[in-house]
């Protein structure tokens, strides 16, 4: 699991064993780039920048390798991650409530019970997962990423954590021995059932060499049923003494008092005391057996029986020796201590016992599970977390989360890193999750629970979630996604963008949401989905961006002509209405949008031969000041064909004057050197000709205007008044 200190050699290798030096000397080096998508790296051989001279080294294949620090979770692991995140969210709710209701509430019985329940949920979940993976991995070898054994170790760690640190409310101070023994018996089954089955099939089981070790072990583990069963088999043993003693021992084993059978601990203590007295009586009886009758020809049964009685007496040296003989570890000794030697052993006293045992019989440093157990036994939750993190970041994160809720670990942030212990491990887990981009929702949920650093980290992750807006049409997708894409096209938020938007709202990350909307808008501009681009821009309240979208649409007129332009404007026109309603919308950019819409209307009318209205449109765009200066020249050129219309005079005299006035201004300004501002768009529209051609075109307009005025005077002898009357009549 842990990737710490691991070295990976990529395939195919570029350097032969031990020849790194040559590689470098040939002017090459290795460079890498980190992927923002997940915890992966692109690694590639590159030219050394400090090489004598950088020049082509001849044709050869140059690879790029990709490596990841984490394995992307497999399906069942994802399921595990997803399902446990629900428990995490529940605890998160609880601690959030605690913040508003005060710390006292967090320590109340009600809360404690909830935390205990959630802890047990984790325990049960890891158990389920262990069973599931063990079964499936038998069926299909190697399909599961983590072996069943991995989940078993998570299960044992969490279960131990629950026993030691999350007891039932009010039982914090109760003896812990029985609970620990139960944990040991559930997770580390000894002796095996097969052994028992085998022995029970024998007529004279004591003659088998495994008999006594088996009997001793079941006694040590408090497995009274198995113990009494095999003690009963001794009833046909040739030795009178053994028969008698076994018969006496059996009820004693069976009647060892257990805490859960008592109402009060005082009663339990009293019963234990009386029981111990009976054991002592048996010891006296045992000692009275003569040396000659202590051996049955196969085994020194007396020694073995003495061991059993020694265990029941709680003799430290006996328990220790027996455990060593049986190959039991430090856990078994520590737990037996709490059952036999000191039946009233408290949780807070356990670390001392554990440390004594561990001194003689240390935990296995190569076994992380063992290390976590030892740290938990030793009352060192922080240490347990550091081992747990190596075992599985999942374990460290969730245990740390519980520990913080139970005030087992320091809540304050580390001065250097600014992170609390919990946040450190939860963020570590989130980083592990980030290896799988599909898990971004869960990744950010964990991050958002980790203070300012977590929130800002989540922002980064959210912003880097691929929006998949381009998927439409470009890549084949499943039906479901295709539908999503259709929705997207029709203007609804859908798919990833919708999810990210919702997440941003949930955690109040408006800045991030706006950035994402701006990106979406930009993407749609590239796709020429201007209507969508516009609605995303306004959702981001990005008014300059909105202006750029409109510019792009106007650019379409220049590039592709009126037909395309009208079509694109049809896509953005509906937004205008909405934007006018919106109070925050900045005038200037909406203004530009209005121009685009009006200009498209103008072309529409022109196309429909609705010339009178088109002329009216044109003049009013000037009069209303809608047209940007850079477009004046284009509009003027548009007017030319209307001016030249033979059938009727389309412009009123005043309208023609407006045209003239603007024409004069464009030409005058161009003379003054600001031609770029006024002619830019026209030049673009005309193509390669430049300023000269643009001015030439405007001269043409001027000529048309002059002719138009001439026609006005010819037709309307009465001057402009008559003309205006005619115009009104035409309307």
Partner 1 sequence: MIQTGLIQSAHNDLLTDVAYDFYGLRLATCSLDQRIKVWQVDESNGNWNVEDDWKASMLEDAWAHPEFGTILASASFDRTVKIWEQTSFASTTDSQTNGAGAGSPQAASCGSSRWVERAVLVDARGTVRAVEFAPHHFGLKLATVSSDNRVRIYKCLEQSSLATWQLSEEVDVSTLPSASLSSSYSVAFATPTQTSATLEGASATLVAQALQQSQNPATQGRPGMGNREADGGWCISWCKDRYWGEIIAAGCGVSGAIKIIQLSPSRRPITLLTLDPSPSPVGLPTEAGTLLASDGDTPTPFAITSVAWAPSCGRSYHLIATGGRDGHVRIWRVKPAEDEADVEGEGGDPKWSANVVADFDHHKSAVGRVEWNITGTVLSSAGNDGRVRLWKATIGNVWRTAGSIGVEQSEDTQDADVNMGENAIAE
**Residue 267, H or E segment:** helix 265-287
- Decide whether 207 or 460 has the Cβ nearer to partner 1: 460
- Residue-wise burial string across 366-396, b where 16 or more C-beta atoms lie within 10 A, e elsewhere: eebbbbbbbbbbbbebeebbbbbbbbbbbbb
Contact (CB, 8 A) for 4 and 396: no
Q: How far apart are CB 513 and partner 1 at their closest, in Å? A: 13
Q: How far apart are CB 67 and partner 1 at their closest, in Å? A: 5
Q: How far apart are CB 320 and partner 1 at their closest, in Å? A: 35
**578 touching partner 1, by CB under 8 A:** no
**C-alpha torsion 111→114→119→123, nearest 10:** 160
**303 touching partner 1, by CB under 8 A:** no
**Footprint (CB under 8 A) of partner 1, residues 461-490:** 461, 464-466, 474
Out of 167, 196, 451, 628, which residue is the one contacting partner 1 (CB under 8 A)? Answer: 451
Question: Is the link from the previous residue into 189 a cis peptide, with omega within 30 of 0?
Answer: no
Contact (CB, 8 A) for 298 and 305: no
- Decide whether 125 or 448 has the Cβ nearer to partner 1: 448
Contact (CB, 8 A) for 34 and 460: no
**Footprint (CB under 8 A) of partner 1, residues 650-689:** 680, 683-684, 687-688
**522 touching partner 1, by CB under 8 A:** yes
- Kindly list the distances between the CA atom of residue 159 and the CA atoms of 127, 179, 268, 354, 655, in Å, as whole numbers in the listed order: 9, 11, 25, 18, 88
- Decide whether 4 or 264 has the Cβ nearer to partner 1: 4
For the purposes of burial, counting CB atoms within 10 Å of the CB of 327, is it exposed (0-12), middle (13-18) or buried (19 or more)? exposed
Out of 499, 527, 601, 693, which residue is the one contacting partner 1 (CB under 8 A)? Answer: 527
**23 touching partner 1, by CB under 8 A:** yes
Q: How far apart are CB 154 and partner 1 at their closest, in Å? A: 20
Q: What is the rounded CA–CA span in Å between residue 521 and residue 539?
A: 9
Q: What is the rounded CA–CA span in Å between residue 36 and residue 54?
A: 30
**574 touching partner 1, by CB under 8 A:** no
Q: What distance separates the 2 farthest-apart alpha carbons in the chain?
A: 153
- Decide whether 56 or 728 has the Cβ nearer to partner 1: 56
Out of 548, 598, 603, 678, which residue is the one contacting partner 1 (CB under 8 A)? Answer: 548
| Closest by CA position to 214, among listed 302, 312, 304 | 304
- Decide whether 156 or 457 has the Cβ nearer to partner 1: 457
Q: How far apart are CB 481 and partner 1 at their closest, in Å? A: 12
Query: How many other CB atoms sit within 10 Å of the CB of residue 102?
Result: 10
**Footprint (CB under 8 A) of partner 1, residues 160-179:** none
- Decide whether 4 or 581 has the Cβ nearer to partner 1: 4
Query: How many other CB atoms sit within 10 Å of the CB of residue 589?
Result: 22
Considering only the stretches 15-23, 98-106, 271-279, 366-374, report the one whose residues sit in contact with partner 1 under the rule CB under 8 A: 15-23
Residue 707, CB-side half-sphere exposure with 13 Å CA sphere = 14
**417 touching partner 1, by CB under 8 A:** yes
**722 touching partner 1, by CB under 8 A:** no
Six-digit token string for 396? 């460290």
- Decide whether 18 or 625 has the Cβ nearer to partner 1: 18
**Footprint (CB under 8 A) of partner 1, residues 352-411:** 386
**528 touching partner 1, by CB under 8 A:** yes
**418 touching partner 1, by CB under 8 A:** yes
Contact (CB, 8 A) for 216 and 304: yes
Q: What is the 3-state secondary structure (H, E, C) of 448-468?
A: CCCHHHHHHHHHHHHHCCCCC
Q: What is the rounded CA–CA span in Å between residue 698 and residue 703?
A: 9
Considering only the stretches 154-162, 295-303, 419-427, 640-648, report the one whose residues sit in contact with partner 1 under the rule CB under 8 A: 419-427
**728 touching partner 1, by CB under 8 A:** no
**Footprint (CB under 8 A) of partner 1, residues 31-70:** 31-69
**Footprint (CB under 8 A) of partner 1, residues 682-721:** 683-684, 687-688
Out of 28, 258, 294, 605, which residue is the one contacting partner 1 (CB under 8 A)? Answer: 28
């Amino acid at each position: 699991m842990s990737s710490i200190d691991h070295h990976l050699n990529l395939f195919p290798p570029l350097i032969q064993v031990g020849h790194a030096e040559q590689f470098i000397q040939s002017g090459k080096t290795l460079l890498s780039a980190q992927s923002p998508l997940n915890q992966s790296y692109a690694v590639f051989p590159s030219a050394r920048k400090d090489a004598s001279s950088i020049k082509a080294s001849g044709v050869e294949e140059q690879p790029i390798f990709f490596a990841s620090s984490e394995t992307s979770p497999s399906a069942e692991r994802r399921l595990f991650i997803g399902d446990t995140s629900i428990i995490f969210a529940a605890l998160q709710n609880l601690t959030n409530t605690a913040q508003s209701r005060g710390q006292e509430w967090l320590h109340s019985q009600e809360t404690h019970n909830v935390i205990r329940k959630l802890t047990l949920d984790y325990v049960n979940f890891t158990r389920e997962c262990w069973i599931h993976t063990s079964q499936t991995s038998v069926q299909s070898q190697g399909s599961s990423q983590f072996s069943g054994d991995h989940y078993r170790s998570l299960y044992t760690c969490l279960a131990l954590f629950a026993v030691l640190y999350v007891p039932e409310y009010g039982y914090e101070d109760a003896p812990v021995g029985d609970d620990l023994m139960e944990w040991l018996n559930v997770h580390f089954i000894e002796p095996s059932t097969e052994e028992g089955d085998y022995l029970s099939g024998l007529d004279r089981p004591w003659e088998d060499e495994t008999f006594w070790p088996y009997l001793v072990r079941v006694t040590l583990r408090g497995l009274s049923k198995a113990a009494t069963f095999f003690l009963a088999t001794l009833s046909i043993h040739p030795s009178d003494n053994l028969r008698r003693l076994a018969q006496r021992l059996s009820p004693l084993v069976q009647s060892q008092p257990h805490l859960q059978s008592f109402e009060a601990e005082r009663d339990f203590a009293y019963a234990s005391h009386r029981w111990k007295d009976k054991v002592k009586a048996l010891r006296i009886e045992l000692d009275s057996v003569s040396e000659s009758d202590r051996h049955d020809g196969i085994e020194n049964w007396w020694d073995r029986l003495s061991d059993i009685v020694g265990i029941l007496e709680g003799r430290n040296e006996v328990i220790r020796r027996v455990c060593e003989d049986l190959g039991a570890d430090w856990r078994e000794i520590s737990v037996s201590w709490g059952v036999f030697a000191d039946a009233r052993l408290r949780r807070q006293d356990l670390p001392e016992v554990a440390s004594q045992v561990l001194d003689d019989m240390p935990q296995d440093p190569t076994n992380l599970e063992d290390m976590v157990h030892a740290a938990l036994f030793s009352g060192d939750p922080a240490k347990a977390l550091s081992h747990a993190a190596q075992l599985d970041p999942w374990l460290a994160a969730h245990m740390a989360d519980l520990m913080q809720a139970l005030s087992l670990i320091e809540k304050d942030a580390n001065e250097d890193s600014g992170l609390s212990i919990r946040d450190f491990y939860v963020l570590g887990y989130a980083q592990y999750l980030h290896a799988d981009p599909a898990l971004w929702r869960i990744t950010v949920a964990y991050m958002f629970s980790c203070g300012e650093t977590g929130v800002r980290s989540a922002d980064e992750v959210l912003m880097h979630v691929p929006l998949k807006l381009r998927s439409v049409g470009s890549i084949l997708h499943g039906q479901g996604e295709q539908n999503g894409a259709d929705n997207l096209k029709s203007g609804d938020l859908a798919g990833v963008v919708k999810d990210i938007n919702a997440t941003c709202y949930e955690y109040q990350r408006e800045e991030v949401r706006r950035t994402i909307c701006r990106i979406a808008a930009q993407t749609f501009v590239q796709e020429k989905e201007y209507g969508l681009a516009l609605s995303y821009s306004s959702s981001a309240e990005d008014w300059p961006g909105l202006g750029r979208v409109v510019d792009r649409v106007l650019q379409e007129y220049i590039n592709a002509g009126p037909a395309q332009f009208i079509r694109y404007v049809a896509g953005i026109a509906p937004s205008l209405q909405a934007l006018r309603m919106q109070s925050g919308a900045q005038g200037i950019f909406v203004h530009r949008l209005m121009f685009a819409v009006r200009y498209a209307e103008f072309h529409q009318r022109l196309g429909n031969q609705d010339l009178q209205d088109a002329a009216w449109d044109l003049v009013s765009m000037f009069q209303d000041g809608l047209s940007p200066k850079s477009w004046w020249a284009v509009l003027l050129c548009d007017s030319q064909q209307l001016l030249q219309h033979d059938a009727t005079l389309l412009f009123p005299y005043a309208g023609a004057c407006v045209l003239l006035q603007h024409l004069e201004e464009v030409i005058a300004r161009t003379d003054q050197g600001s031609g770029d501002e006024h002619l830019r768009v026209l030049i673009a529209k005309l193509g390669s000709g430049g300023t000269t051609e643009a001015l030439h075109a405007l001269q043409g307009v001027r000529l048309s205007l002059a002719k138009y005025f001439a026609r006005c005077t010819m037709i309307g002898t009465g001057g402009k008044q008559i003309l205006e009357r005619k115009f009104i009549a035409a309307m």
